[in-house]
Every structure is written in C-alpha cells, then in structure tokens.
Structure 1
Amino acid sequence: MKNRFILLSFIVLWIPKPIDAQENESKWIELEAVYSAMPWYNVDGGIKTGFVYIDNADITAKLNFDQLFGLKDNLSLFVYGLGNNGDMASEYMGDFQIASNIEAPKAWRIFELWVQQNLFNDQISVLVGLYDLNSEFDVLRPGTLFINSSFGIGAEYAQSGQNGPSIFPISSLGIRISSFIGDRTRLRLAVLDAVSGDPNDLESNEISLSSEQGALIAGELSVYTNKDFDEDQQNLERSYETRRRKVGRQFDVYKKDKINVGGWYYTSEFEELDGSSVSSGNVGVYVGAQKYFPIGNEEDFVAFFGRYGIANSKYNRFGAALSGGLVVSNPLTGIEDSFGLAFSSGFNGDEFQELQNSGERTETVLELTYSLPIKSWFLLQPDVQFVINPSTSEELSNPLAVAMLVQLSLSN
C-alpha cells in the first residue's frame, strides 16, 4: 500500500492538469494515469465472508507521429504499463466469472506495446505489437459501466485458451487489421500468439512464439444501425484510453447503435476436458447488440445491451454464455451520473457437467451499480453483486458482495 501512495504522488506531480482542465487540441504526445481502488466486502455466502482491497494502476503514453512530423496518414506508438496488488475477491465469493474486472495476480508488467499505422487515406488501420484483444473485440459500450468481468468480454470467450485469450491482465503479440466495408459496417481481424505469458507463472509477461502453441484468430463485424450514422463517425483506430475508464466521466459517450457478430479459433490442439484425447477445433462465436434511446436533455439516454456466445464444450467449461442489461444516464444529479442493472449467465457444457457430477449447470451474476463522476478525473461507484450457484457448486451458498470503486484519472 505504501508503494502505491508513493506512485500516486509521483503521478500527481508528473502530470500537470486533470482531464477537465485540458483543451481538446490534438497532441503529439498523450499521457494518462488511472488509479482504481476497490474496497470489497463479501457480506454473505460463497467461500467465506470478509473484506479485500483490490487496486489497479494504468499508465499510458501515446506518440502521434503524424502530429509530430505532419504525416498524411495517422501513425502512432502506444505503451501501457499495468500494476495490480494481487488481492482476489473471487477467493471469498467462489465465483467462476470473476466479479471484479481489476482482479489480477500481483505484478507490474507492460500490458500493451504496439505501433498503429493507417493506410490508403485512412481506409485501413494496421496495428502490430502486444495488444489487448478486448480493447476492441467483443465490446458493448453500455456494458463497460459494470464491474463484473463478464460484461467486458463474454464468459465463454474469456475462459478460452491455455492462459486466456490476449486480454487483461496478460496480453500477447499479434497483428490487427481494421477497415470499413461500405458506409456503416466495420471489419476487424486479428492474429495473436495463442498463449498469453506463461500459464505456469501468472506474473510472467514472456513472449514465446511456436507452432506448437499456435495462434488465436479473431474476427468481428460491427454493423452501425443509426439512421444518421455517417463517415465522420467511422473509427478504425484502437483508442488510447484505457478500457477501464467508465461510461460518462464528462467525455464523449459513443451513443451508436450497433450489432456485433464475431468468432475465434485456436490453431493448436487442446486436451479435451475428459482427458481422453488431444484434438483441434477450439472455436467459438458470439453476437451482441447495443441500443440507445434519448431521454430528457440531448445528452441523456437509456441504453440496452445483450450478448450470447457459444464455445466448443469439448475443451471449455462454459459451452454458452448469455448477458444483458440497461444503463440510464443522469438519473439523479444531472452531472453525468449513470445507473446500471445487468445479468450474466454461464452454462456448463455437457462434457464438464458429466465430470462435475452436479445438478447445478448455470452460474448467474446479478449486478446493480451507480457511477457518480464527482469530477471528470474523480469517480465514485458503489456496486452490489449477487451470484446464483457460484461455480455451479452445490457446496457453496449464493454470495452477496458490496464494493466501492474509487477512480482517479490524470492526463496532460
């Protein structure tokens, strides 16, 4: 804890202005630091009741070479440092879907390090390097309000691979290509190292490419359904902002209705859950949608989102996952606060269900949250989560947990 406060003090001195004091001009270098603290208390049920303190530090820098050298097409370099204290709410709750989206093994690591180049008059964006797949793939903007991990990426997707796909907290090396097809359909394709870091050492961030480990191939089509969607709203580039900055926060909320259709495939062979053989075919597909309805003032809205995904249950515990929810902006204070209510259910596949030998098949998370941005750089977010059938275990009672996200963001 002492080291965290020393770091935070250094960040405050290093970065001169909070976000709401900035001007909006383009910069050749963009710096940001986000500190997220999450006191967490498991009130009842699960493995045990008790208190845990989770925190997360994100430090990013982006160099815009097109601004620096006056280049025609966008060219940028991005570096993302990540630190976690290692405390785990899941050790109290016993849930499989991971209730806190900043829960991670204790480590400091380079989470992302990539170069991004636009080509053909910004018609195609190519990114190469250490890359967080979930910064662009399988993202529904209203879902980013919530704290449970399954609202950031589907539960059946997050479980895949030997050490998870290339997502928080360990990324892998890869290449991503993004382009628009027509006026309102965006296509993204990515090929990444199938094994993020070292599965035997969760603090490791090593890169080890081999044909045996294989590759993760991911693709996604996003269709924007707004009647007034036009070329000015097309976005091909990986945003430099950390995805853990919440909805609102007094910066632009991307109120774009869209439908996502995506899929993923591992080229390597995997051991089947029953241990009977090793084979190929670790694959999954998903569909998701978000819809915004304006209410009251021009910037106020009610947003709905929903998602369903399936995975090959020969290799993965969850054969399917379903989630959805709603977000209401400015329900109380008029200062861009947000209220959210959502659920996420993961369904054991037949293979795992036979091995578990339990009558419980589905783990369901219910989350109620309220985001209050006191300033654009200071956020409070009380949160309540209730898990039905944690880890589909008949031995665990349903946990009820309360948390408070405290988030400080600073930028140049």
Structure 2
Amino acid sequence: MIVGTAFLLSTETARAAESLDWLADPGGWSGLKKQWQKAGVDVSIEDVEELWSIPTGGALPSQHYVGLTDVDVVLDLARLGGSSERDGAWGKFEVSALDLRGKPFSNYPLYAFNQTSSSEADPNLRLYELAYNWTSAGGHIDTRIGKLDLSQDFMVSTTAQTFLNASFGWPMLPSNNLYGQGPASPVATPAVRLRYVFSKGWQAQIAVADDNGTGAKSFINNTDPWNQNQDPGGTHFNFKTGTFVIGEVAHNVNHDGKTGTYKAGFYVDTGRFPLQANQDVSRRGNWEVYMVMDHTLLKNRGAGELRGFVRWEYTGLADRNQISSSLDAGLVLDGPFHRSGDNVGIGFGYAAPSHYLMLQRPDGSERHHGNEYHLELTYAAQVLPWLVVQPDVQGLINPSGGAYDSGKKVKDALIFGLHMDASF
C-alpha cells in the first residue's frame, strides 16, 4: 500500500512538473526556435490583446477591444550559406507582418490628440518591415535598408517603453504633424538608416526616408484620419510626396553605477503641408528638434531600481503643424515587491497646439485650443516567461484642447485598460 501510494504521488508530481514545463515553454517552442536559429532562421511571434473601458468622460462611455499579432522572420545569410564566418557577417534579411484587430477609439469617442494605446490602428493584415541589415565586425557601423519603422531607432526612451499610451513611444508631435503619423508602427516606409558607434559611449545615426508611407494623396482625410486604409496591405512604396530626414546623437553615461542615456535629434521634411489657418493653402517644408533623457535614479535599494525619463519636442512652424510642442516624463520602478520581472510606472504628458489652430464653439464663435494632458499609472506583471499581464489606468484632461461633440464640450476621461502580451 505504501509503495502504491508513493508511486501515485511520484506520478502526480511528474505530471505537475510536465505541466509547469509546458507553461514555461508551450509546445517546446524555445527548443525548436534554437534549432532554427542555428540553421540561420529566427522566427518571433508576439500577440497583444487589450480591453479598454471608458466609464466616464469623452463623448460617451464605451468599451473597446484592440489586438495585434506580429510575426517576424530574420534570415542570417552567413549561416544559411553554410559559412564559417561570424554570425551576421553577410548581413541579415528581415520580413514581418501585422494582423491588426479591433477599432481605434482615441479619435472617437475620446477626441484625443494622442492615442490611448500604441496597439491602436486601423484593422488590416499588412506587411510591416522588409529590410536588409548589416553590422561591421567591431560593431561600430550598423546599417538598415528597406521598408522601415524608424520609431524603433529614433526618439526612443527605453524607460518609457513600460507605458501603454502611444505618446510614450512615438511622440505626439510627429504623430500629429507628419503624413500618416510618420514612419512609425504600423506603417513602415522606404528608408536607409546608418548608425556609427564611437568610443566612450557616443553614437550618431541618421536616416533618409520617404515621408508618406501609405502614399496618401491628401494630408487631411476626414474619413480615414490616419490614412492607413490608403495602403491596407502595406505593400505600397511611395516616392512622390517628399523626403524625410532624421538624425540623432546619443551619449551613454555611468555615475557611480547609475547609468543613463542622453539624446538630441531633429527631423526635416521636404513635403507640402496645409496651413492650420487655411487648409486650402500649403507650404513646403517642416522640421522638429527633440531631446530625450533616461537615467537610473536609485539602484539596489531592496525594492528594485528606480528609473526616470523626460522627452521634449518642439517645432517653430506653428502655421502648418497641429502641435507646436509636447513633453512626456515618468518614473518606472523595476522589480517591485522583489519580483524581478515586474515593472510599475507613473507617467505624465502634454501637447501644446498651434496658436493658428482655432476651435469653433456651439455659438459659432472661435477660440484657441488649450493644452491636452494625460496621466498613466501602470503595472506590468511577468506572469510567465512568455506572458506579461498589465492593468492600466489613464486620465485624459482637456481632450484636443477643448473639443466639442454635438454642441457639448467633450469631458475629461477616465480610462481603464488590461493589456496582455504573449511573446514566443
């Protein structure tokens, strides 16, 4: 009887262990992925599922679903060719695709300048990036060419990546002022990007791209504000509107073990942009300057590492831009409650509209837009090695600087979200 009981206990223990192994690595995917990587093929899959609720504020209370699946394949040409040279010596070819689901809700009912979620997009199945990447032997030179998402390389605050609000990724100023929100996810654009890493923590990068990834004929499209549906498959390669050039210098620092990165950059665009005061008239040229600061504030104090960031953008061309300046900042604590994979963050941001942008009141009179502000409190929990569950609370103050809907001012909004990210 004792032997039988012991056998049953050991069997149940083995089953429990197998169950835990499956949760840690569903279907043995990581082992299969490593085999493919050795052969020169790296496949990555990310699936994002989000639920959002607006219990109060905006044009009306509402609930929303947003989802996306990103499949990315990278081919190491040296390994595929059977070369004995180092990995990546011949460069790497990358292709990715996005399946975008749900319906955007930041334009309506929120009337926000910025998107509540970086996963918000027009529902489409589209080609994302198609690129060739080469890195020199010493790692000093890195270049990419193809259809690129430049928001992965420029204006990036690594600390801000914890947050869900889209403005903490690709900032509000380029998102509102450029064609189709600029060369940022889910739209990629024909481009060449060159990066050079200097000694002592300095690096510089520059990219030259088409400024209109979807090839939309008109900058303003009231029926398709983001112009993503002008190229729903992501297969259009446009070279007709203008040239977009973006450059950035970054410096990594270390003060008594507290690391940081300081960036300064700019972009210029040779395309034509409608004037805010008269959209029937357009002017050629646009520009922006920006700064990004990321730094560790507290380190190894028991509760985790505290990091902070500030990012600022400005353009002097208020006559042709919806947003003149924007700023976002925040704090992120890594490893709260002694959970090494978790992050908790609080962030703040605002957008200052152009003084040429006028708001019409219900009585027919006009006034200038005010600033729009947003707040976010978020907690990202690493539930499984491949799964992050992230509850999120946001506040939207003065949407679009004082927008009206059906004769009534759009109210400040309280927004609750649940984000789930599975990466394989």
- Give the TM-score of the pair, scaled to structure 1: 0.83
Greater mean deviation of Cα atoms: 191-200 or 213-222: 191-200
Q: CA deviation at 1:93?
A: 2.1
Aligned to 1:404: 418
Q: Which segments of 5 or more consecutive residues in structure 1 lack a partner in the other structure? A: 1-11, 230-254
Which structure has the greater CA radius of gyration?
Answer: 2
For residue 338 of structure 1, the aligned residue among 324, 340, 343 is 343
Corresponding residue for 2:238? 209
**1:225 positional shift:** 1.2
CA drift of 1:307 comes to: 0.7
Corresponding position of 1:363:
372
SS of residue paired to 1:42: strand
| Gap change, CA 1:17 and 1:190, over 3 Å in 2 | farther
1:36/1:359 Cα in 2 relative to 1: closer, same or farther (>3 Å)?
A: same
Counterpart residue number, 2:85:
71
Aligned residues: 372
| Code of the aligned partner of 2:48 | S
The residue number in structure 1 matching 2:253 is 225
Matching residue within 390, 393, 399 for 1:381: 390
Find the partner of 1:140 among 144, 157, 160: 157
- Report if the CA contact (8 A) 1:61-1:78 is conserved: yes
Q: For residues 196 and 23 of structure 1, what CA distance do their matches in structure 2 show?
A: 34
What are the residue-to-residue correspondences of 1:6-405 with 2, within 5 Å? Answer: 16-17=27-28, 27=38, 28-68=40-80, 69-72=83-86, 73=89, 75-90=91-106, 91-119=108-136, 121-199=138-216, 201-202=229-230, 203-210=232-239, 212-227=240-255, 256-275=259-278, 277-296=281-300, 300-311=304-315, 312-353=317-358, 357-358=366-367, 360-394=369-403, 395-405=409-419
1:364–1:389 contact (8 Å) kept in structure 2: yes
What CA deviation, in whole Å up to 9, does each residue of 1:327-355 have, x standing for no partner?
00121252421100001100011111478
Deviations 1:280-320 (A, max 9, x none): 23100100100013533799310000011012222211100
Aligned residues of 2:127 and 2:235 also touching (Cα < 8 A):
no
Asked whether the equivalents of residues 192 and 216 of structure 1 are also in contact (C-alpha less than 8 Å), the reply is yes
Of the structure 1 ranges 382-391 and 294-303, higher mean CA displacement relative to structure 2 is found in: 294-303
CA change 1:18–1:25 in 2 (3 A) is: closer
Aligned to 1:234: none
What is the CA–CA distance in structure 2 between the aligned matches of 1:227 and 1:26, rounded to whole Å? 37
Q: Which runs of 5+ in 2 are unaligned?
A: 1-22, 217-226, 404-408
- Tell which has more relative contact order, 1 or 2 (C-alpha 8 A, sep 6+): 1
CA distance in 2, matches of 1:144, 1:303: 12
Contact 1:145 1:340 in 2 (8 A): yes
Contact 1:142 1:305 in 2 (8 A): yes
Identity, % of aligned pairs? 21
